[in-house]
């Protein structure tokens, strides 16, 4: 082969080699670009998935909050409905109370005079009764009269005290008691025996004096000696020192009304 042809063939080979090198480099660059693009796509996809997950979580939170608000709204609606009924009932109650108060004032105007009359009647009963515990009973009448003039005591409280006083007086008619006090005629301390509201007897501590309050004469009088042991026995029974037993005591006879 001539020398010029060999040179030409070598040049062709070099050109082909360079072309191959350039083609390989181009292919490598294209592959690298493709790989970078795919990596970018994966990153973008991951970021998009993360964003989608975050939006889904926020959506669930908003949905839960919405449901909570709906439940609270329903509860408030039920509460408001009940509260409206309660308020309506309270309005009716207030109207009823106002109506009762209006009638109460009228009632008080009738009750107060009645209580004053009851106190005066009780005072007359005490003065006409046998004089057992007379000072305490008179003092209770004075307390009731004073109470009626006190503005801070309600009408119902006044009425309660008056009724309690009457109940105490009624109780005296069903009980028997023994107590020590001064004999009004002499000032001597004696033992009194009260039998209901019927009899009031007395006896000195040495049993030398035995007497009674005579309802007919309204005087304290001495009793015959035959009643001495009977009164002593009655005092012992009233003091729970002896068992109940039959006791012979003077009983005033009926008095013809005038």
Say yes or no to pLDDT of 28 above 90: no
Inter-residue contact 234 to 179 (CB < 8 Å) = no
Q: How confident is the model at residue 109 (pLDDT cuts 50, 70, 90)?
A: confident
Backbone angles phi, psi at 242, to 5 degrees: -135, 155
- In a domain? residue 41: no
- The domain boundary, picked from 125, 154, 172, lies at 172
Q: How confident is the model at residue 184 (pLDDT cuts 50, 70, 90)?
A: very high
Half-sphere exposure of 209 (CA within 13 A, CB side): 15
What pLDDT score was predicted for residue 2? 56
The answer on 203 and 235 residing in a single domain is: yes
- In a domain? residue 47: no
Q: How confident is the model at residue 21 (pLDDT cuts 50, 70, 90)?
A: low
Inter-residue contact 232 to 209 (CB < 8 Å) = no
Contacts of 201 (CB under 8 A, 6+ apart): 192, 193, 195, 210, 211, 212, 213, 223, 227, 231, 234, 249
The answer on 117 and 153 residing in a single domain is: yes
What number is the average pLDDT over the span 89-116? Answer: 81
Say yes or no to pLDDT of 95 above 80: yes
Boundaries of domain holding 232 = 175-250
Instruction: List the one residue out of 198, 122, 192, 204 whose CA is nearest residue 163.
Output: 122
The answer on 168 and 179 residing in a single domain is: no
CA distance 237 to 193: 10
- The domain boundary, picked from 147, 172, 197, lies at 172
The answer on 221 and 167 residing in a single domain is: no
Contacts of 144 (CB under 8 A, 6+ apart): 119, 122, 161, 162, 165
Q: How confident is the model at residue 17 (pLDDT cuts 50, 70, 90)?
A: low
Number of independent structural domains in the chain: 2
Better pLDDT: 112 or 45: 112
Query: Above pLDDT 70, what percent of the chain?
Result: 84
The answer on 168 and 95 residing in a single domain is: yes
What number is the average pLDDT over the span 10-16? Answer: 53
Query: Which letter does DSSP use for residue 257 in this model?
Result: -
Token representation of residue 12: 């062709």
Buried b (16+ CB within 10 A) or exposed e, 112-121: eeebeebbee
- In a domain? residue 10: no
DSSP states of 60-110 = HHHHHHHHHHHHHHHHHHHHHHHHHHHHHHHHHHHHHHHHHHHHHHHHHHH
Instruction: List the one residue out of 199, 200, 182, 198 whose CA is nearest residue 190.
Output: 182
- In a domain? residue 15: no
Query: 3-class DSSP state for residue 183?
Result: coil
Q: How confident is the model at residue 254 (pLDDT cuts 50, 70, 90)?
A: low
Least confident of 82-91, 101-110, 159-168: 101-110
What number is the average pLDDT over the span 20-32? Answer: 62
What pLDDT score was predicted for residue 44? 78
The answer on 154 and 196 residing in a single domain is: no
Say yes or no to pLDDT of 1 above 70: no
């Amino acid at each position: 082969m001539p020398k010029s042809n060999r040179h030409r063939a070598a040049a062709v080979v070099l050109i082909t080699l360079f072309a191959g090198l350039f083609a390989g480099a181009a292919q490598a660059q294209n592959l690298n670009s493709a790989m970078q693009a795919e990596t970018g796509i994966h990153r973008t996809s991951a970021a998009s998935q993360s964003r989608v997950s975050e939006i889904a979580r926020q959506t669930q939170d908003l949905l839960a909050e919405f449901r909570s608000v709906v439940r609270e709204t329903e509860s408030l609606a039920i509460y408001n409905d009940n509260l409206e009924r309660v308020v309506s009932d309270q309005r009716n109650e207030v109207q009823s109370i106002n109506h009762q108060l209006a009638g109460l004032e009228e009632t008080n105007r009738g009750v107060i005079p009645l209580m004053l009359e009851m106190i005066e009647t009780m005072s007359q009963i005490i003065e006409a009764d046998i004089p057992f515990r007379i000072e305490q009973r008179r003092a209770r009448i004075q307390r009731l009269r004073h109470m009626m003039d006190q503005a801070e005591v309600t009408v119902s409280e006044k009425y309660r005290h008056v009724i309690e006083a009457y109940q105490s007086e009624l109780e005296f008619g069903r009980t028997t008691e023994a107590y020590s006090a001064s004999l009004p005629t002499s000032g001597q301390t004696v033992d009194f025996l009260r039998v209901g509201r019927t009899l009031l007897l007395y006896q000195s501590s040495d049993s030398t004096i035995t007497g009674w309050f005579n309802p007919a004469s309204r005087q304290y009088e001495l009793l015959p000696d035959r009643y001495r042991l009977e009164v002593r026995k009655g005092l012992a029974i009233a003091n729970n020192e002896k068992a109940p037993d039959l006791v012979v005591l003077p009983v005033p006879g009926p008095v013809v009304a005038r």
